[in-house]
Amino acid sequence: MSKERIFLSSPHMSGLEKDYIEDAFRTNWISPLGPHVSAFEQETADYVGVKGGVALNSGSSALHLALKLTGVEPGDVVFCSSLTFVASANPILYLGAEPVFIDSEPGSWNMCPDALRRAFENAVRLNKLPKAVVVVNIYGQSADFEKIKPLADQYNVPIIEDAAESFGAFYNNKPSGSFGDFSILSFNGNKMITTSGGGMLLSNNQKALEKARFWSTQAREPVLHYEHKEVGYNYRLSNILAGIGRGQLRVLTDRVEARRRVFERYRQELSPVSGIDFMPEMKNSRSSRWLTVMTLDPSTIKPSVNYLINQLSKEDIEARPAWKPLHLQPLFQKCLFFPHHTGDVAQSLFHKGICLPSGSNLTDAQQSKVLSIIHSVLKS
Ligand SMILES: *Cc1c(COP(=O)(O)O)cnc(C)c1O
């Protein structure tokens, strides 16, 4: 067995990226903008089935600009999924607004429509509707937009779809990232595809995208001298990184297939063990299976999640607990939280969930090694 470290999710280059990078070098179009940026935006928007995109230096920047476009200001409220990475909610704080967290539902692990409804009813009572709802597609599976969208529409609140982990997934046969008024992708090194670091804001609202493009390039007024009326940001993606993105986009479908195969093998070999379960996939959903998440029922399985993670780590294998829900983070301790009607689902997933190495470049032998260590820990 190889001695090299097995990662949770590592970059997986196809080789096609080099052609685009060489083109950027040949034309000396290294940065800032250039033809690869607009092509990457258009190709990504076409894949997702929306009118346009703005390529940015991170998914977090994309969320920040999406929230700004929905008019979030200091003192405003923004609803957000609780079971997610902190990046989903940090930009709410950048804008001086206050997140209100919504629990997961057991069937998808994503935002619970019933808890969302209660949050809206409470907001009406307080006479303070949110400016936006950040709906996260966790671990690659789309949220249940069929139920979430009518609620947001009823209160006339825009949806920001955080598709950072679900690029390449489908819901009702439509690509993930096409359900929000604004959607965001991440091309961080551990995501479905990577530009080493980057992100994209997607929408059908071209005028709004134009505004985001303006903000992302220091809000420079279209005159010769440097004229500024608004605060801007340096958020644009460089031409060279967009080139890497174009190469990666061409293999996105393969990357999804590979991760789904990884998930399937773990599931086949481990789900016969009593007390082990896997993240469910809704009937109308085709997850990107960004990460394979397994749950250990503590009433049946003796080794704890942390013990298993540590044993894997001793063998140079990276595994992690499920996301610690944001409503349990010290950073957000004063924020409201609307739980599922049976109790705190996100918290229970955090306690029993474990993310296994899931990269599209994970070899069969590496996966066998992970599996054999898990089996031996479970037997101990
Ligand atoms: C990775 C991630 C982000 C942020 O993306 P960056 O490109 O790292 O800024 C946002 N939301 C979720 C759910 C993520 O997993």
122 plus 194 within the same structural domain: yes
Whose CA is closest to 294, among 147, 81, 312?
312
Residue 347 lies in a domain: yes
Residues 263 and 237 occupy one common structural domain: no
**pLDDT score of 34:** 82
Q: Is the CB of 166 under 6 A from ligand 1?
A: no
Dist. CA 317 → ligand 1 center (Å): 23
Structure confidence at residue 1 (pLDDT): 46
Q: What's 217's domain CATH number?
A: 3.40.640.10
Q: Same domain, yes or no, for 214 and 345?
A: no
**3 is a domain residue:** no
Of 249, 274, 290, the residue that ends a domain is: 249
Helix (H) or strand (E) holding 201: strand 199-203
| Domain extent for 130 | 17-249
Indicate whether 5 belongs to any domain. Answer: no
Place of tokens 């049946």: 300
Q: Are residues 107 and 205 in the same domain?
A: yes
Is residue 7 domain-resident? no
Structure tokens given for 1: 């067995």
In a domain, 11, yes or no: no
| 375 and 263 share one domain | yes
Domain boundary residue, one of 231, 249, 267: 249
Same domain, 81 and 167: yes
Question: 233 to each of 65, 218, 219, how far by Cα in Å?
Answer: 10, 5, 7
Report CA(250)–ligand 1 centroid distance (Å). 21
Q: For residue 299, tell me if it sits in a domain.
A: yes
Q: Quick one: 145 and 168 in the same domain?
A: yes
Which residues, given as ranges, of the chain have pLDDT below 50? 1
Domain assignment present for residue 62? The answer is yes
Tell me which residue has its CA closest to atom 5 in ligand 1. 59
Cα–Cα–Cα angle for 167, 143, 113, nearest 5°?
165
337-338 and 292-296: which strand pairing?
unpaired
Q: Please state, in angstroms and as integers, the Cα–Cα distance from residue 4 to each residue in 177, 194, 231, 309, 369, following that order.
A: 35, 22, 46, 17, 12
Question: Quick one: pLDDT at residue 3?
Answer: 65
The verdict on the CB of residue 59 being under 6 Å from ligand 1 is yes
- Residues 260, 202 share a domain: no
Strands (E) across 103-198 are located at 132-136, 159-162, 170-171, 174-175, 182-186
Which of ligand 1's atoms lies nearest the C-alpha of 87?
A: 10
| Best CA proximity match to 17, nearest among 248, 187, 198 | 248
Q: Which one of 225, 249, 273 terminates a domain?
A: 249
Q: pLDDT tens, 168-198?
A: 999 999 999 999 999 999 999 999 999 999 9
Does residue 183 sit in helix, strand or coil? strand
Distance, CA 290 to ligand 1 centroid (Å)?
12
Closest CA to 201 of 87, 68, 88, 66: 66
205: in domain: yes
- Looking at ligand 1, which atom is closest to the CA of residue 198? 7
Beta strand pairing status for 337-338 and 98-102?
parallel
CB-CB neighbours of 14 under 10 Å: 15
Q: What are phi and psi of 340, to 5 degrees?
A: -60, 155
Whether 90 and 186 share a structural domain: yes
Q: Which pLDDT belongs to residue 167?
A: 98
Strand ranges across the sheet with 52-56: 52-56, 199-203, 182-186, 159-162, 132-136, 77-81, 98-102, 337-338
Residues 50 and 147 in one domain: yes
Predicted TM-score of the model (pTM): 0.97
Contacts of residue 263, Cβ cutoff 8 Å, sequence gap at least 6: 278, 289, 292, 358
Same domain, 84 and 177: yes
* Shared domain check, 162 and 28: yes
Structurally, the chain folds into a number of domains equal to: 2
